[in-house]
Amino acid sequence: MFRKLVFPTSRAVKVAQKCVFRNASTTIRPRICIVGAGPAGFYTAQYILKHLDNSDIDIVEKLPVPFGLVRFGVAPDHPEVKNVINTFTKTAENPRVRFLGNLSLGKDFTLEELRERYHAVLLTYGADHDNTLNIPNENLQNVLSAREFVAWYNGLPGFENLNPDLSGKSLTLLGQGNVAVDVARIVLSGVDDLKKTDITEYALETLSQSRIETVHLVGRRGPLQAAFTIKELREMLKLSNCTTIWRSDDFDHVEESIPNLPRPRKRITELMVKSLAEQSPTKAPPVGRCFRPVFFRSPINIIGSGKVEAVEYVVNKLADGRAVPTEQRETIEADLVCRSIGYRAVSVDNHINFDARKGCVNNAGGRVLKRNLTGSDQTIDDIEDKYETGLYASGWLATGPTGVILTTMNNSFGVADLVCRDFASNTIRLNGSRPGLDLTGRTYVSWNGWKAIDSEEVRLGQAKGKPREKLTSIETMLQIASNASD
């Protein structure tokens, strides 16, 4: 819905206000703005609500809908991972929290404005740009990023018309992380299995007509350094009507290394070696779809005339765990290529102290660093006046795109704890109340507006036997939200 919100005067809030007035030093309520309604934003809010009494939190999001990568990044056939949305919903429905969707930092408001209108600001808007390979012909037709492909089948607004070309026989994924394996699994899965998920209807239609038979998953290092998790590998090995084919040469001396590996790495390596041992020794082409992991290869050239036809690789060897190129080359045919070599954040406001090379905010443990530090010849720990008071970053925007949702939770809880301690130590001074974001003339979506969108998606999904059918038109979302009541 679109109207200026005030914090509800529920009994719980009234009681808290009574407690406030018993102590004159705490009559001013800490007002905090969190920019980004993904996992980092919600985990940060959850911790602050529990540990900073009488604080009021605005969670501001550029899209009309919340949940970030949980909604748009988690694979549709992993509904159990999305259960965290229930926890995020409880946080958003706390009377001390406002959700303000459809508002963008750098477009609808500035960082300076936020810092003037809140006691503390936390930047948690994530990393939504791709790393690139910087090799010849990377911009050929049918060369995409895995992020774009995932955004397409998960219904992220702006990607509904991506229309990946699945008319060829082979897909190559450059990178071996979980995102790459997700794409492989979705492409190689039967459509009947996906029909029961919240994958978009247009993606289902395209996948139903896919002619992709082989997916290569290519990594620059070896099996002992593979970035995918054992859960993802198990799912690939159990995929119906799909054969996994390993290259035996990639596993030279791997089995003898297993006893000395840490337990998680040991388990996944044992699973790969077991799968290799069960592999048919015949050279006959497999019947049905095929998943082919390839190790020790780095792409150096994408080959094609008009659109991709193959990828040329340099063959690597390992030296101290690093991939070192040799003189050997290999070319593998490909009709579609998706690079999956990581995400990077971007700066959306000129006042953010941002490291473009690393693709994240300059921070120390979550506290954003000042641009110009005195004593620059010293280490960060030796500089006293180094932080932007009341300004923080958490999640991938602060750390880079590493780990899983649990990793983001732990990081966000840690940063939120810093915020609470900075208020407790009077580092952030409550020397006057702060008004919060001025919403005059701004079209935004409240939590009730999101609930109306959510209800419509669930209704559309039920008609198709799915949990929901995600809306991809922002205009439609805003229209539905505008009709919601307080």
* 462 annotated ligand binder: no
Q: According to the 3-state scheme, what is the secondary structure of the chain?
A: CCCCCCCCCCHHHHHHHHHHHCCHHHCCCCEEEEECCCHHHHHHHHHHHHHCCCCEEEEEECCCCCCHHHHHCCCCCCHHHHHHHHHHHHHHCCCCEEEEECCCECCCECHHHHHHHCCEEEECCCCCEECCCCCCCCCCECEEEHHHHHHHHHCCCCCCCCCCCCCCCEEEEECCCHHHHHHHHHHHCCHHHHCCCCCCHHHHHHHHCCCCCEEEEECCCCHHHCCCCHHHHHHHHCCCCEEECCCHHHHCCCHHHHHHCCHHHHHHHHHHHHHHHCCCCCCCCCCCEEEEEECCEEEEEEEEECEEEEEEEEEEEEECCEEEEEEEEEEEECCEEEECCCEECCCCCCCCCEECCCCEECEECCEEECCCCCCCCCCHHHCCCCEEEEEEECCHHHHCCCCCHHHHHHHHHHHHHHHHHHHHCCCCCCCCCCCCCCCCCCCCECHHHHHHHHHHHHHHHHCCCCCCCCCCCHHHHHHHHHCCCC
* 69 annotated ligand binder: yes
* 176 annotated ligand binder: yes
* 177 annotated ligand binder: yes
* 179 annotated ligand binder: yes
* 40 annotated ligand binder: yes
* 81 annotated ligand binder: no
* 232 annotated ligand binder: yes
* 405 annotated ligand binder: yes
* 178 annotated ligand binder: yes
* 32 annotated ligand binder: no
Annotated binding site: 40, 61, 69, 105, 176-179, 220-221, 232, 396, 403-405
Annotated binding site for NADP(+): 176-179, 220-221, 232, 403
Annotated binding site for FAD: 40, 61, 69, 105, 396, 403-405
